[in-house]
Structure 1
Amino acid sequence: MKNILSDNYEHNKTILYVSLLVCYAIIAFYTLNAGYSMSTDSQRFSRWADDLIKFNFNLFEFYSIDKVNHRPNLFFFSLPVILIGLCKVFFTSDWQYAFLLLNLILVFFSLTIFINILLRVKVRPILISFTLPLIVLSVDMLTWPRFILSDVIYIFLVISSVYIVLNIIINNKIDYIKLGLIILLLLSSRPSSIPVIFSIFLFMLFLKFKILVKKKYILLILLVMIISTPFIFGFFYLFLEHNMSDKPKIEFLINMVNEGMIIHDRSDTWVSSPNNFFDLVIIYALRMVNFFNPYASTFSILHILLNFIQTILIVISLTIWLFFVSSIEIKDKLYLFIILLSLSVASFHSFILIDYDWRYRFPIILPLIMFIPISLEMILKKINFRLNKSELKY
């Protein structure tokens, strides 16, 4: 066992790639066996793709048909609509199966990028191999790839964003072309990409002004962000209610808060309507907490158990990192970006909408699971350091 955990174990990479192929094969088999699924949003994407085909993929004409005020502009759905349109053109009646295969291809590349990120921060391959089965056991990873939606496209872009940010950290230089391209693709994949882009820019500012140099500053920033966000949202709600409540999109947000909605379509999570400012703060705080909640009353026992295992491991890993981190290294900066990304996504959806079955949590699952092998690597390095120190003594 000691040899296997060693940095220099000769079969580490072999075990890792076998683990990748086995885990991916399980996800692909389960997804193909379950077949594709069409939701209400899937039907909407299909209709938009038909419109795009009628316009010969002229996006300007496609955007011009947008007359709906209660949802974001069609630009924010361009990428999945284009891909569905291409599937319809090249595969006609089998387009859903083609899109399902596209989803599985993107799952494979997402897992590959996941591995490459961890290798670049010097996590030993065997630890990554131990982590990959946790992804297979993720209920989200076994659920959303079969849907004709933007979710898998989006998780691929999110994990690609993490990879690009890591390159910026390592090289201490911004590749504006890659960064600009990934931001454009994120924006055109879904409206909820805004917090991902926000977290990238905020992290770039942290790097520029060298804020990420001391542990106490980092913990203070994170603590202030977590505590202040519900209060900021409370003030922002009051501003919107008094100044912009006549606009359909704003009215929709206000009505959800007035109904005490926490998780959309899960009324068992709702609370009483707010009567004062502190009730607003409580609603937004509950939304942020529930964004990461592994439990829902309608989930099966197995679903809840798997969610709890994943959540507990992530929380333990985060605690280990907070305990062990001293000087800020590359992997610590990556850790911080993932925390910032997760908080930004959770905060955004806490203010806007947390969808049924926590769908919008899915894109940050892969980055959060990275906490586990990184923290295990920190423990092993600490143990090795103490063992080496003891050997030097004697």
Structure 2
Amino acid sequence: MTHSAVDVIAAKRDRHRLTDAQIDWVVAAYTRGEVADEQMAALAMAILLNGMDDAETARWTLAMIESGERLALPDVGRPLVDKHSTGGVGDKLTLPLAPLVAACGAAVPQLSGRGLGHTGGTLDKLEAIPGWRAELSADEIAAQLAEVGAVVCATTPSLAPADRKLYALRDVTGTVASIPLIASSIMSKKIAEGTGGLVLDVKVGSGAFLRTHDAAEELARRMVAIGAAHGLSTRALLTDMSVPLGRTVGNALEVAEAVEVLRGSGPPDVVELTLALARAMLGLAGIEADPAEVLASGRAFEVWERMIAAQGGDPAAPLPAATHVEIVEAPASGILTRLDALAVGTAAWRLGAGRARKEHPVQAAAGVRLLAGVGDEVRAGDPLLELHTDTPGAVPGARAALDAGLAIADEPVGRGPLLLGEVGA
């Protein structure tokens, strides 16, 4: 049977369900270059506007997986389990989580990405460590899993190449926000990776990609359904991203904070979510262990050091420090009632911690340190935040981003719960 891009676009434009054959053909043909970018952009917009049902989304995911190879990880003597976050501000959880879960007896093949816009990327954070490298071959990934139990690295080029091409197109055509396309993008890479279980951290709030609970819950449900359709045990936790996670936003700053957590201290919210995700991952892996006890014992920090060293990094080396640090002071006395995640993330991005395009560089030392949290009492002139950058000219833009994100009032307000819901096993 022959197909044409115009027919597939028209079918979704007219709100019809795409057949398996149409999906298989259009994804493969686009990957080969036989469907033009403008045609796939039109189809992506039609999907954004008219949606795809669960069966279509699962088939779209399969087509993207089949556009490349699957990572054939050998038996490393431990159950494989992974975690994926939809992205947030100050979300450094992968850094303590991967070595912690490995120290509990699982193997964690964490294939991660770089940041875009106000949300940070795990690889950008780790690349702040002198010598650390993100690019590993499939053989290197397998060897490190067997020897260390955890690896955090870039996705290999052979995994779901259709997704890489389509994501770049969606980024410049205003079609990133399609929940079926988001779900299939995330899950195609994770299924192709070959993990045995997957925990999803779906962020909700101003600093998240999805800002409403309903939208985040729908994305979580879609991804869990895709996992079930492909035989991958999947569980999703909905977590708050209205306030930055922890007290640092920025690459080297977040690495230092993650090390604090692995050494048995660190901000309570980072510790709480790290342990919650670890318990979920261990549950899928069928491992009975207390991650809180393992974290306190120092065994997770030992795995961290081995994991960093295995990828060429020096875990004892000093992290980059910004050449310019500026203080943001409290404009009035009272209770800090608002510390908006998007505002802080945008400020960090403008300081150099993030990028506007995937090919842009980032400053390892740039970012924001939070000196006060929501609910804290402050006095006029007290330091609220530190702005770190190697380009002082970026500070006014960062301050402007923070103007609407901070509020001080007379009445106290507490932060809501970090865990907002759960979908899946």
TM-score normalised by length of structure 1: 0.30
Q: Which structure dedicates a bigger proportion of its chain to strand?
A: 2
Q: Which structure dedicates a bigger proportion of its chain to helix?
A: 1
TM-score normalised by length of structure 2: 0.28
